[in-house]
Structure 1
Amino acid sequence: MRKKMPLRLLFVFLSVALIPVLIFSASMQLYTLKIEKKDMEKRIDSNLNTSNQGLEMVFEKYTTILYDLCTDKEILNMVERIDAAGDEEEESTRMLQYRLEEICSRYEGIKGIMISLTDGRTVFYDGLGSSSVSSPWIEELGIPEVKMGNVYRGISEPVIDNGKEIYLFQIAGNLESYGAGGKHQAAAVINIEEEQICKVLNSGGFRHGYLLDGDIVVSAPSKSDIGCRCKEVMDTETNQYTCLFNQASGFTICNIQPVRAYKDLLHIQYLILGIIVLVSGFVVVILAYLIRKPYLKVVNDYVDAMSRVEKGDFTVRAREKTRIIPDMGRIENKFNSMIIYIQRQVELGKQATQERKRVQATTLEAQIAPHFLYNALDMINWKAIENEQYEISEMLGILGDILRYSVKNIDDMTTLRTEFQWLEHYVWLGNVELSRKTKLKLEVPEELMELRIHKLLLQPFIENALKYAFLNKGGNDVLVVGVGLAGGQIHITIEDNGKGIEAGLLRKLNDETADMGEHVGIANVRKRLKLYYGEEAVVYFESILDSYTRIHLFIPLMAEMQSNG
């Protein structure tokens, strides 16, 4: 045992010191990680919302330009003349080309505009090549089919301008009230530089994202990613990707959130936790080594002393150890006192045996006392019968029943049927005492009569009603007790047609923290309810002066409340 003692002490020291440190450290690390994760989620939501708002503003800007073009009466007249005269209307064609050039020059980001006529011919202006005659790309891109409203399209293949690759977006719409009755309808398309979209998705050095058409990338910080499938360009090891669908354009915004910093923080937290554990363990081992020797010597001395006492040697005494371990004197005094006490107990064994017998006899007498009281009541009852005092006899019989019910196992559970039978006796006796004729009415479905509740829960409310509700009030005094089930709870109501409760007292009765004063029974019921049923048990009062008072008890319905009978 002595050889194992140092290891046990070391284990105790390690447990006492390291477990709280580990719990505290782990809690702090988890809390830090939780805060960091929530912060990252907030940043992602903020970035998505900002990008979505910016995208809608850009599209709204260019959609407005397209709408103005498609509804401009002068442009519509030019298109109509060109469409009617064919290739012979060169003047109108030049004027329309000039107007398209003017629009391209006026608004940043527009790299070309094209209008398709009803006969399939086109009029365009290429802003990249500054040409209305020929373009290597604008007619090739064409105009997407427009059935209704505007059409948004991202071009995944670049156009070449002076050796530089430029990606474009298209917004197309039909010219207003023109060509609707023919085979083809005149339409217009604005070609926007993709960089205008990229700016709103990637801003401030902290917000990065893709714009997807389905699963195809149509805008990205790295132009080499455009035209690829999103899964091909995603790096889930270092980034987290979150998407938001833009209703106006039909595109999907994909936010790119770097998670390397979060993972680095996670690794740092684990490293810190490991360092704390190692340092704490090292310190505890050193402390255990420094203090185990004097304590071990003291423990071994006490083990030897207890072994001698176990063999019957009560002369042993603990030696002075205060110089080895401070405050050891109190333990030594207690130990020596214990030895003296044990010796005295052994010497007085016979006296202790006699004392136990006397206590047992006293206990039996105490158990006889209630039976003596019941027998006395029974004897008085028979005397009353001999003297033909039958009313007194009935009162004594009911009093005896009430006494037995109230003093025997008050914390036991009983059926509602038994509780109500006892309450009927209690009300009868109260009527005799107060010279009243209060009626007790039970509105309880038969199937609920076997539900079990704790005894005497309702008695304080009935007592208060008898004492206060009908005071100085004549007439038909009625107490109504009802029982029902509501949402997994037993709902018990106790209602009287008495004088009611004043507003101030009503507030006090409904305040669980208030001092009940003379209504101590109500406070005791609340305490019992909380003890038996927890916080789900509720009591509250409602009352109208000179009309009624109604008490509601809500008790959770539990399995043990189902009667086996």
Structure 2
Amino acid sequence: MKAVRPDRKSIKIKLVTAFILTSIIPILLVNIIYYYNTSKLVQQNVESMTKANLEQTKVSLDVWLDSYEDILFQVYTDDTIVELVDKINAGEDVANNRKLLRKTLRGLFYTKDYVKSISIITESGELVFYDQLTASTTQTSWLDSIALSQAELYEEISLDNKTHLFPTGAEVIFGSNSCYLFHIGHRIIDYRDVEKKCGAVMVSIDVKLLEEVCGAPTDKGLNFIMDGNGYLVACPNSKEVGKPVVSGCAGKEDKKEACRRTARGTGLFGDRELSVYSVYDEKTGWEIVRITDQGDLVLGLYDQQKMLGFIILLSLLAVLIIMVSQVSRMTGAIKRVVETMRKAGRGDLTVHVGPDDTRPTEIEIIAEEFNSMMDKLKRSTEKQKDAEIAALEAQINPHFLYNTLDTINWMAIDKDEYEISNMIATLAGILRYGISDSNGVVKIKDEVEWLKQYIFLQQTKLKNSFECHIDVAPELMNLSIHKLLLQPFIENAILHGFEGVDRTSCLQMSMRRDLDFIKIQIEDNGCGISSEKVKEMNEGIFQKTDDKNHIGMENAITRLHMYYGESAKVVIDSKPGKGTTVRIQIPITKGESAYEGSGG
């Protein structure tokens, strides 16, 4: 028998080698590449969702600050406040005028949550304010918490006609009350002499507003805000608000490390590895920072690889079957999660990763974190929508308006001007109805009654130059409709449709039921609209020109789609010289019947 060459390998070794070369190594290589690509894709999607969260927070911040600037606008343009400030500057009965001015500020104080103080600095150096934290009339709670003196503050605000934003300073403490405040300021404008310097107004706002915009912190993530100089403007669970986080000239990596230290100071993250994302808000000059803990994500992917490697080493004979089973299970779970993330990346913010009992624990953590993030985005989007709807409607102080109208009414009665008194009373009722919960839901009969009062005022104003007929099916009267939807179309017909028409003007409105919809038709025999403009309006195109005839209609159509979605339809038909017809379709509210309670 021929001796076996000592250098010849046995079949066992060859098979093992071949098995390793054809199975183990390729599988390991494929698994390594798959791990790298999956980690990269998941990281990209998490980063994309984090950036989307930051952008949404930025939008919410701007919308909320815009709403608080409305209070500032009411103060610095108010004629009564301007008159009182002028008297104080002139040294005229300063004590009494200070008292009247403070009383006026108190009337504006509760129009918004989180407002802690409204203050006015006059040109003569007087400080008049209403402060929630202190009962004092001579010392504010906030002035000592910021770096500028009263004179420097006034000088900076008076330089231009812009709104000035002053970030959070030191903690304000008065007795048992304490809070952090940021401030917005504007110079007072007298429209009779816009260049005149007479005073400046400051609105001090609790930083809890900014914390609410940032969202509740968790051990998975935290949002906070810094100003352009690196000072901490707002951060939940932090006592470092108003203090510097990083110098303005620090490098990118130094800045990230400083942000990580700030996040760890809240006690939520310990020594875990943190990722830092940020977005710059051009309106405020602030930077919104997002801190996330992605350690679980990385650890989960790493544990999956160790598990697969252990299975391969444990049983070479069954490694292919085991690996195929494990990889298929993990691949399916990750693909479902990733596909859901891709849908969200394409703009569908309603998607969620569905339950899957076969999903590994680590991937389940990713799915739960993703679902949690989507829920936060949805809530943030709903808040933005409410804020945008509120921003579409006029901001006005109803108490001031009603008191003024009541005063004018009594003046008319004193002079036996009862017709004027009736008109003012009607106007007050119209405004009270329109301003109170202006995007609320009312019965059709109430909306129709309000429209009749509005048309009565227009007829009186225009000396009964037009006729009006309203025909509403009785069975519709107790159904629901959003307030103030039809008035812009009525107003457009009265103010612009009848302009330049020498025949008898007539306006007609009818409401009928068609299956599950309410059909509304508003028709006038006025001057009409050109066919080109009608086509644009039916396509949802409203040109931004000096002609403001159809701005109200554009806003009304926008609100219709906000409230009723695609179920709402508006079609405009017009012939120049013959008149215009607007046909509106809105759905009957689910659960209501047009035949229930038709009385009234």
Q: TM-score, normalised by structure 2?
A: 0.44
Kindly indicate which of the two structures has a greater share of residues assigned to helix: 1
Q: How high is the TM-score relative to the length of structure 1?
A: 0.46
